[in-house]
Structure 1
Amino acid sequence: MRQFKTSVLVSLTSIFLTGAAYADSLTLSSNDIAHGEFMSKAQEFKGFGCDGGNVSPQLSWSGAPEGTQAFAVFVYDPDAPTGSGWWHWQIVNIPADVNSLPAGAGTPGSGSIPQGSIQIDNDYGTKGFGGACTPKKNGAHRYQFTVHALSQKLELPENASGALTGYMVNAHSLASSTIQALYKRD
């Protein structure tokens, strides 16, 4: 009997894992950045001693789970010497029928963000994308570009903080995918 129970458990586990393998999975890609690779000067901030292009990279995603009502895109540096990391970009309520953002979409006033989307103040104090600007001689930092499929559009107060936005996105995230790019200044 014990062998039968083990066999049934193994079979059920196999069915579950096989089914999961066939399920859509959210995948993030980009023409401008790559996982584990250094970003170009185009993605460096212009200000705070940095003189880059401050251009948000092109991003595309596919495989959103059923029930996705909106998307959010975050860019976060967990290595910033702040004790709490650094929010470089948070854009929420991207419509569910949108699956990409062009390069430069995070530039305030560019008109490139999808209608209905909301850009949150980054840690530079502006709405939109704020590029990499690692302190000199601080080594390489990781920049986590993450897309979240959301179960609903978010209702956020005007001037919501990055922490509150992160909390709400994580509370309603059905799936996420991350490209972790690198940057450093010597």
Structure 2
Amino acid sequence: MTLNDPFARLPEAASFAVTSTTVTDGKPLPVAQLSGIAGIPGGEDRSPQLSWHGAPAGTRSYAITVYDPDAPTGCGFTHWAVADIPAGVTSIDEGAGDDTGSGLPEGAFQLPNDARAPRFLGAAPPAGHGEHRYFIVVHALDVEHIEVDPQGTPAYLGFQMASHILGRAVLVATAETAA
């Protein structure tokens, strides 16, 4: 069995760079990015700091998604979805994805995650379920505004973005909860 790749059936897109002062690619998420809301001790449900550069020419906006393809749902779990980040923005501070989106740039908005909360929800893999991967993705889009209702689902955001993605910048972090 191969691990599910969330981009396997999507159109090819250019790669660009994303870094974080809070999350390291290939390493476990820090405790602050785990979910206190879901009962993980010490979890703070703090969205990670992200910086990106090298987006393809023609980028008119960005979207950010945080997705766990290993969640025991049959369809994964989206922890955060942000749309309409202006093209001139190239970083988001840690904690920007709080209940009000207070740290997001003007014009950007959070869609409800798969728990139906319009905020960042930290990682909370079920105890004993093994290591989960968290795809933290900055999507470079060829439109200034993606046509999604702010109350829409992350899946609908993904559907609407599919034909507008110029590039993807990806960090993959992990989390595991002991049994």
- TM superposition score normalised by structure 1: 0.84
Out of 137, 157, 162, the position equivalent to 2:154 is 162
1:50 counterpart SS class: coil
In structure 1, what is the equivalent of residue 55 of structure 2?
64
Rounded to whole Å, the distance in 1 between the matches of 2:148 and 2:38 is 29
Matches within 5 A, 1:125-164: 125-152=116-143, 153-164=145-156
In 1, distance between residues paired with 2:59 and 2:22?
A: 26
Contact 2:78 2:113 in 1 (8 A): yes
Whichever of the two has the greater Rg, that structure is: 1
Corresponding residue to 1:29 among 15, 19, 28: 19
**Residue 47 in structure 1 maps to residue 48 in structure 2:** no
**Number of residues of Structure 1 aligned to a counterpart in Structure 2:** 163
Distance 1:57 1:41 in 2: 11
Please give the root-mean-square deviation of Cα atoms over the aligned residues, in Å: 1.3
Q: Distance in 2 between matches of 1:182 and 1:144?
A: 9
1:158 Cα deviation after fit: 4.2
Residue type matched to 2:66 in 1?
V
Task: Indicate the residue corresponding to 1:180 in structure 2.
Answer: 172
The answer as to 2:91 corresponding to 1:105 is no
Instruction: Give the superposition deviation at 1:70.
Output: 0.2
In structure 2, the gaps of 5 or more residues are: 1-13
- Deviations for 1:144-164, whole angstroms, at most 9, x for unmatched residues? 000010000202124111111
Q: Does 1:77 align with 2:59?
A: no
- TM-superposed CA distance for 1:136, in Å, is 0.3
Give CA-to-partner distance per residue, 1:132-184, whole Å, 9 cap, x none: 00000011100000001000020212411111101112221000011000001
Give the structure with the larger helix fraction: 1
Mapped to 2, the partners of 1:162 and 1:143 lie a distance apart of 15
| Cα distance in 1 for residues equivalent to 2:150 and 2:82 | 14
Take 2:39 and 2:122, find their aligned partners in 1: how far apart are those partners? 12
**How many angstroms does 1:58 deviate by?**
0.4
- Scaled by the length of structure 2, the TM-score of the pair is 0.87
Identity %: 38
* Distance (whole Å) between structure 2 residues aligned to residue 111 and residue 118 of structure 1: 10
Q: How far did residue 49 of structure 1 move?
A: 2.9
Matched, 1:114 2:105: yes
Kindly provide the CA deviation profile for residues 106-144 of structure 1, in whole angstroms up to 9, marking residues without a partner as x: 112252001100101001220010110000001110000
